[in-house]
Amino acid sequence: MTTPIFRKATAADVPAIVAMLREDNLGAQRETAPDEYYVAAFKSIGDAPQNHLIVGEIAGHVISYYHLTVLGGLSHRAARRGNIEDVRVAESLRGQGIGHLMMEDAATRARDLGCGVLQLVAHETRQAAHAFYLSVGFTASHVGFKRSLSDPEETQ
């Protein structure tokens, strides 16, 4: 396997990112908005300095993605937290170590941004993801809750 290069995502990467978000059952159900919604969201998210939209690329092809947000807080001696969302590796490349490299990249970026903690959540049905996160040093420390504010049917 060629080692991916992790870099800041650009608007040109949005179609590849959305395609990865749609690759599993949960994503296929919820990622149904028109493409222009994702492009507008990308711009809005990317304009906020606490957000870091990162893609992994091999030979000019986007093969992974994660969204790192730096959160301030008062607990844990006012530690900054790196919160990771939307972790994806292209389905055809899973199991080759890319996720591990991606999580190391996220940890380095979070540390460089002054974070003392790196955290994420994974849907309760994503058992393989749970095992993966445990294997790269995360601990199952919390129970998460969610409340939809737009669509009462949207719970995932």
Instruction: Name the phi and psi angles at 123, rounded to 5.
Output: -55, 145
Which range is least confidently modeled, 103-112, 117-126, 147-156? 147-156
Instruction: Name the phi and psi angles at 89, rounded to 5.
Output: -125, 135
- First CA to last CA distance, the chain: 33
Chain length of the chain: 156
Please state the separation of Cα 21 from the chain's center in Å.
Answer: 10
HSE, side-chain direction, 13 A CA sphere, residue 154: 10
- Is beta strand 51-58 parallel, antiparallel or unpaired with respect to 61-71? antiparallel
Residue type, 88: R
The pLDDT of residue 49 is 94
> Are 70 and 113 a contacting pair, CB within 8 Å?
yes
The pLDDT of residue 153 is 54
Question: pTM score > 0.85 for this model?
Answer: yes
Give tens-digit pLDDT for 27-83: 888 888 888 999 999 999 988 999 999 999 999 999 999 999 999 988 888 889 999
